[in-house]
Structure 1
Amino acid sequence: MIDPDEPLERQVQRQARIIDALMRRSNRQHEVGGTAYGAFQSAIALQGQVWAKTRDLERTTDELRHARDEGERMRKNLADALAAMEGGVALFTDGRLEVCNDIFLKLLPDVSGRLQPGTGIEQCFGALSGSRHVVTVEGNVDAALAQARRGGVGTSVVSLVIALTGDRWYQINLQRTSDRNIVLLLTEITTIVRRNRSEKEHLIDRQADYLQAVFENMTSGVCTFSPEGAVMMYNQQFRILLGLPYTMLQKGTDLHQLLDFVAGHKVIVDAGLFEIAQWLDRLDRQGRLRRRMRHATGRMLDLHAHRLPDGGVMLELKDVTLETRATEMLENRVVERTEELTRANDQLRQQFDEMARVEEELRQAKERAEAAVSSKTRFLAAASHDLLQPVNAAKLLIATLRESTEGTGVGGMVERLDGSFSSIEQLLHSLLDISRLDSADRALTPSDVGIGSLMRSVRDDQLPLAQRKGVTLDVVPSGAFVRSDPVYLLRSIQNLVVNALQYTPEGGRVLVGCRPRRGRIELQVWDTGIGISRKDQKRIFEEFARADNVPLGSGVGLGLSIVDRTCRHLGHKVRVRSKPGVGSVFSIEMELAEGRVAQSSEPAEGCAGPVVSETEMDHIVLLVENDPDVLFAFTSKLEQWGASVLPAGSITEALGHVRDIGMAPDIILADYQLDDGETGDRAIAAVRELTGVRVPAIIITADRSTGLVSKGAVEGFSVLTKPVQLSRLRPLIDWKIRWQSPEAAE
């Protein structure tokens, strides 16, 4: 019935009410009891309960008295501890004054009566600020209270500084010690403030001494004037530079008096009172003045005048005599040097005019040379078709004649004739390649090229030559892709292989392959030929240069020059290693196109394509060629292969043949440059439009640019260059008809 956790006073009250209730109950039972014995028993029981409750009440009262004594003792100990502290201390609980020491109360006697327990902390600070003993308070009281309340328990102290009468200084520190309590500490800092003030005054005095010492040791003369114009501070150098007597320059001397003395005694040459008055006027208007003036002794002085922040004036004098003399000497030398430079400039102008005339002549000569080279290039480009046309016709006729005379008495002569035309073709190709590489508008277009197909193409072209010479020609397959121009890289590999076969005797061997070189690839051509001496290895890449051990009649020396020029334009590196009598190794190092995978496609120019049988060509071939000789030779060769040829010299004639047979041909062979501005690609497009069938087609042209090849890839025709290689033409025709027949295409 009694909660032991309740305060002792509350427990005593409850016990008293319980005893009172028991007594009333006992009285009622006594009044209504049945017998005296029952009443006696009730009285005995009630008395026992009363004694027990009385003992509990006495014990509880003793504990309450002991707790009160302990609280009083702790409060007295706290008061003694606060009284023993050197500074003033006040404890605020829930924002109200709980306890403080005598130092806190007696610090400001006029407001001590208002600082009683229970007073709010704001009222305490208001009383402190309003005391007549407080001179100043450094800091914001409201902000300090707010910061102390927001701060965590035991966090940094918030401080204020107050100045009291009698030059006394105290620091007020506020700190939150618990969720409910804030402690205020008053610490006297009078000794510290006075010591700092004394040190500051001493430092100021020393700074004045230092400043005066600096003034006296300056090379410039310095003098300062008060706003009223009286001398405040100066050094001896100022007096010496102006030549003033000791009595004239003293503390308190007036500025105008000093200037009157300077003007009256002609201390400054050509500086009268009027000019000095102008100086002062300018100083008043602009706040600064700078003048260079000549002293009566001949020295040159620089005068600098500045307005000080308080309205005073500072004058600074510098002796610039040596500097002035040096400047005058320099100016004289500059004048002399200017005259010399003027004369030299006249000579240079004459030389420049002469050089301009020579440069103009050189420019004109260069333009004429460039025009000649450009004319030669345009001529070779325009004439390449006409130059290659008869060679192409002759090769076709010789090929037809060679098959017809094979095994007869004139077969050998035809074979020699074929070799002669091959030499003419090789020389013509070399000249055209050099012309294109030398032209200003070279059409080298690097792309990702499969090097394996180029090596196979060269092998297929040169294998008959190797067999006739009795030389073994081997090519190691490669699936690598390189960054290069496909046309000129093919020509470079072909030139290296042709040279190797030409200078390798019967029974020798030529090997072509590739080696990886740290992210690049090196194509190598090995041979067991006559070799090249070390001195010849440095000049064999020049035009018309051949090694000393090369037999007569073995070429004019253009192949390696073309290889060198091509590789320089494409950024490839060409190397040669050779030993006379042992053999040579020529290599081309190129950038490797990473991530490329070889893909199957139609045979490009220079590729033999799939191996086909030598059976008769039972196909209808539409041949479009404007040159009658080439048309005749081509028709004869195709018919010799077993084809049914529809020869046409123009697009109109070709379309007439198609209408006559009433069907699409199996394949179209067309020259690119036809008469009257017609082209082979237009002929192919016209036949396809007429028949409604995507007829396989091959363009045969002397144009070696990559633009036509790119167009062929888009429009679906292949490109072969003249003079056409029959070893390439026959497999390509069979391949395109077999894999790109009209029925399969549509």
Structure 2
Amino acid sequence: MIDPDEPLAEQVSRQAKIIDALMRRANRQHEVGSSAYGAFQSAITLQAQVWAKTRDLERTTSELRNARVDTERMRKNLADALAAMDGGVALFTNGQLEMGNDIFQTLLPDISDRLSPGVSTEACFVAMAESRHLVSVEGSFGAALAQARRSRVGSSVVSLVIELTGDRWYQINLQRTSVENLVLLLTEITTIVRSNRSEREHLIDRQADYLQAVFENMSAGVCTFSPDGAVTMFNAQFRQLLGLPYTTLQQGADLQRLLDFIADSGLISGSARFEARRLMEQPHRRLRLATGRMLDLHAHRLPDRGILLELKDVTLESRTTEMLENRVAERTAELTRANTRLTEEYEEKARVEEELRLAKERAEAAVSSKTRFLAAASHDLLQPINAAKLLIATLQDNVAETRFAPTVERLEGSFSSIEQLLHSLLDISRLEGTDEVLTPSDICLGTLMRSVWEDQQVLAQRKGVRLDMVPSMVFVRSDPVYLLRSIQNLVVNAIQYTEPGGRVLAGCRPHGNRIELQVWDTGIGISRKDQTRIFEEFTRAGNVPLGSGVGLGLSVVERTCRHLGHKVQVRSKPGVGSVFSIEMERVEGRPASAQEGCNETPSVEYDMDYIVLIIENDPDVLFATTSKLEQWGASVLPARSIAEALNFIRDMGMPPDIILADYQLDAGETGDLAIAAVRQKSGAHVPAIMITADRSTELLRLGAEQGFSVLTKPVQLSRLRPLIEWKMRRQTGAP
């Protein structure tokens, strides 16, 4: 019923009320008690409760008396502490002045009676602001009080600086000590303010001395004027540059009178009269003195609205500028004449360049025409050679072991040379100035090397040269057609320039992420001076015998490697042999197949018992191909168009075993369309080989999509028959 946290006076009052209520209850029970004994027990109980409450009341009263004594003692100690402080102190509680020391009360004597305890904080500050002894305040009493009340308890102090009569200075600090309590501290700073003022005045005096010393040591003449036009400071250089008398230029002299004196004395030749009030309209002027000297006059506005005049002697600079202007004029005239000559030369050069451009366009048109001609004529050029090779191969088999065999063999060699020369010319034409014909892809070196070995083994055996090749079954990034031609050219050259009984070896060496294909021979070798020129067109080494080629093979190799980014090199010694190499980038992530050596292909002893459908528009090639296949034992159906091929299918009532088709047929027909038509007519996926002069990779991609192989013309019989056998075994599933 009694809260121990309440004030002691409140607790005593509540206890008295409780005791009074208990007494009334006891009297009432005594009057209406049913028995004397019950009343007696109630009286005893009530008396014990009264004694207990009386003891509590006495203890509480004693504690309250002690608390009041402690409060009075603490208040006296606080007053003594405030009185002992050097500065003025005032304590505000609940928005009212609680107490203040003597310094606070007597600082402003005219308002001491208004600073009594209990006055509000706002009234206290208003009284201080209205005091006659207050000279100035740096800030506002009201704003400082509002800021102190908004700040957090125990946070930063809000300060004001006040000036009192008698050049006395105090700093007022306000700090919030609790929710409703503020402390005001008055600290005298008169000594500090006076010291700072004295030091500032001393510094100003010293700066004036420094400024005057700077003025005196400046190379330019300087003179300053007050806002009303009176001279305040100048140096001797200003007087000397203008030639002014000592009596004219003195401190306090009027600016306008000084300008009038300069104009009247003729110190400046041809000068007009200056007006001081309009001097800043043209702050920079160049003056010529009567003595011939040149001066630059600069007028500057000072912060106090005064004027600073600066004079610089620019006589030497003016003369230099005049001399340079004369030289520039002379140089300009020379440049004008030179420009006229250059313009004439430029026009002549433009005319020559135009003629060169037209000549270049004509040359490019001629080269383009030649390229288009060779590209268009390649098919027509290779067709008769293909037919001749097939007929010569058939003739060789027919005249074997007769007296005509050597003649036919020479004839076959001559056609091989023609074929090699034609291929070289076509390759150079395609590679001339562009790499668009090249389509690099991931190819296996071993496959190309084995193909070259199979094609050139007959040439090596005829020459009496041992041809060995160790294929490296790694993948490189290159063009399959032109890399094959490059390897073939190197091997053919090695066989051609190696004497009977010699040896040619081809293989690969790894170099980190690159692979180097090398062709070694024990031939006649190449001198050092010839090694730098053998890759040019129509160039041969000095020790090459006559009639051994026209020097185009290595040029094809060099152009191919340059366009593909391969590195081609040669090492050779006359009489010992040569090593040609092509260094290429190895394709990572493509595992190398097992290496397989190149052995001599066994001769075929059995007949080719197949029905072969040949689709070829050239009658000579058709006849030669038919003759050779029939000689191999095949049954041949020769057709010159798709319609004739379909007639064979209809007459037989069954599909052929294999199709050999040329790509370019008559009337816009192509070999892929012919193969597709035969397969559709016969209802079977007949194996097919495309024999064409087209070497583009698009045709290879088309063959992979439609399921036919591609052989280029002139066809190599050493590759044609194994390819036919392989496709037939694959078709029948035979091993």
Q: TM-score range by the shorter chain?
A: 0.7 to 0.9
Q: 1:382 aligns with which of 336, 353, 376?
A: 376
Q: In the superposition, relative to structure 1, how do residues 249 and 404 fare at CA in structure 2: closer, same or farther (>3 Å)?
A: same
Q: In the superposition, relative to structure 1, how do residues 64 and 561 fare at CA in structure 2: closer, same or farther (>3 Å)?
A: same
* TM-score, structure 2 as length reference: 0.82
1:395 to partner: Cα distance: 1.4
Pairing of 1:366-515 with structure 2 (within 5 A): 366-367=360-361, 369-406=363-400, 410-439=404-433, 443-465=437-459, 469=464, 471=466, 473-482=468-477, 484-502=478-496, 506=501, 508=503, 510-515=505-510
Match of 1:632 in 2: 623
2:299 aligned with 1:299, yes or no? no
Counterparts of 1:213 and 1:406, CA distance in 2:
124
Could you tell me which runs of 5 or more consecutive residues in structure 1 were left unpaired when the two chains were aligned.
600-606, 742-746
Counterparts of 1:541 and 1:153, CA distance in 2:
96
Pairing of 1:90-105 with structure 2 (within 5 A): 90-92=90-92, 99-105=99-105
Any conservation in 2 of the 1:463–1:473 contact (CA below 8 Å)? no
Counterparts of 2:95 and 2:393, CA distance in 1:
122
Counterparts of 1:343 and 1:259, CA distance in 2:
50
Q: In the superposition, relative to structure 1, how do residues 150 and 447 fare at CA in structure 2: closer, same or farther (>3 Å)?
A: farther
2:661 aligned with 1:670, yes or no? yes
Partner SS state of residue 384, structure 1: helix
Any conservation in 2 of the 1:481–1:596 contact (CA below 8 Å)? no
Pairing of 1:108-187 with structure 2 (within 5 A): 108-109=108-109, 125=125, 128-129=128-129, 133-139=133-139, 148=148, 154-177=154-177, 182-187=182-187
1:297 to partner: Cα distance: 0.9
Partner SS state of residue 583, structure 2: strand
Counterparts of 1:684 and 1:633, CA distance in 2:
21
Pairing of 1:604-623 with structure 2 (within 5 A): 620-623=611-614
1:629 to partner: Cα distance: 1.1
Match of 2:61 in 1: 61
Counterparts of 2:22 and 2:45, CA distance in 1:
11
Counterparts of 1:736 and 1:123, CA distance in 2:
119
Counterparts of 1:507 and 1:167, CA distance in 2:
124
Q: In the superposition, relative to structure 1, how do residues 228 and 15 fare at CA in structure 2: closer, same or farther (>3 Å)?
A: closer
Any conservation in 1 of the 2:474–2:586 contact (CA below 8 Å)? no
Any conservation in 1 of the 2:435–2:563 contact (CA below 8 Å)? no
Percentage of matched positions with identical amino acids: 73
Any conservation in 2 of the 1:287–1:307 contact (CA below 8 Å)? no
Q: In the superposition, relative to structure 1, how do residues 598 and 664 fare at CA in structure 2: closer, same or farther (>3 Å)?
A: farther
Question: Which digits, 9 at most, give the CA deviation of each residue in 1:175-217, with x for residues without a partner?
Answer: 4555665544333333333333333333333333333333333
Question: Which digits, 9 at most, give the CA deviation of each residue in 1:525-561, with x for residues without a partner?
Answer: 4556665555554444334445566666554443333
Partner SS state of residue 714, structure 2: coil
Question: Which digits, 9 at most, give the CA deviation of each residue in 1:244-264, with x for residues without a partner?
Answer: 222233344444433433333
Q: In the superposition, relative to structure 1, how do residues 125 and 658 fare at CA in structure 2: closer, same or farther (>3 Å)?
A: farther
Any conservation in 1 of the 2:88–2:101 contact (CA below 8 Å)? yes
Match of 1:648 in 2: 639
Match of 1:202 in 2: 202
2:618 is matched by which residue type in structure 1? Answer: D
1:414 to partner: Cα distance: 3.8
Could you tell me which runs of 5 or more consecutive residues in structure 2 were left unpaired when the two chains were aligned.
none
Partner SS state of residue 246, structure 1: coil
Any conservation in 2 of the 1:478–1:514 contact (CA below 8 Å)? no
2:728 aligned with 1:725, yes or no? no
How large is the Cα RMSD of the aligned pairs?
Answer: 4.5
Counterparts of 2:537 and 2:350, CA distance in 1:
35
Q: Which moved more, 1:152-161 or 1:67-76?
A: 152-161
Any conservation in 1 of the 2:504–2:519 contact (CA below 8 Å)? no
Number of equivalent positions: 725
Counterparts of 2:370 and 2:331, CA distance in 1:
55
Counterparts of 1:141 and 1:685, CA distance in 2:
107
1:322 to partner: Cα distance: 1.1
Q: In the superposition, relative to structure 1, how do residues 256 and 731 fare at CA in structure 2: closer, same or farther (>3 Å)?
A: same
Q: In the superposition, relative to structure 1, how do residues 717 and 164 fare at CA in structure 2: closer, same or farther (>3 Å)?
A: farther
1:250 is matched by which residue type in structure 2? Answer: Q
Any conservation in 2 of the 1:377–1:439 contact (CA below 8 Å)? no
Counterparts of 2:656 and 2:122, CA distance in 1:
114
2:257 aligned with 1:257, yes or no? yes
Q: In the superposition, relative to structure 1, how do residues 52 and 307 fare at CA in structure 2: closer, same or farther (>3 Å)?
A: closer
Match of 1:329 in 2: 323
Match of 2:695 in 1: 704
Q: 1:288 aligns with which of 279, 282, 307?
A: 282
Q: In the superposition, relative to structure 1, how do residues 133 and 586 fare at CA in structure 2: closer, same or farther (>3 Å)?
A: farther
Q: In the superposition, relative to structure 1, how do residues 478 and 117 fare at CA in structure 2: closer, same or farther (>3 Å)?
A: farther
* TM-score, structure 1 as length reference: 0.81
Match of 1:216 in 2: 216
Question: Which digits, 9 at most, give the CA deviation of each residue in 1:91-113, with x for residues without a partner?
Answer: 45566655544434444455555
Q: In the superposition, relative to structure 1, how do residues 86 and 453 fare at CA in structure 2: closer, same or farther (>3 Å)?
A: farther
Any conservation in 2 of the 1:374–1:439 contact (CA below 8 Å)? no
Counterparts of 1:650 and 1:35, CA distance in 2:
150
Q: In the superposition, relative to structure 1, how do residues 565 and 96 fare at CA in structure 2: closer, same or farther (>3 Å)?
A: farther
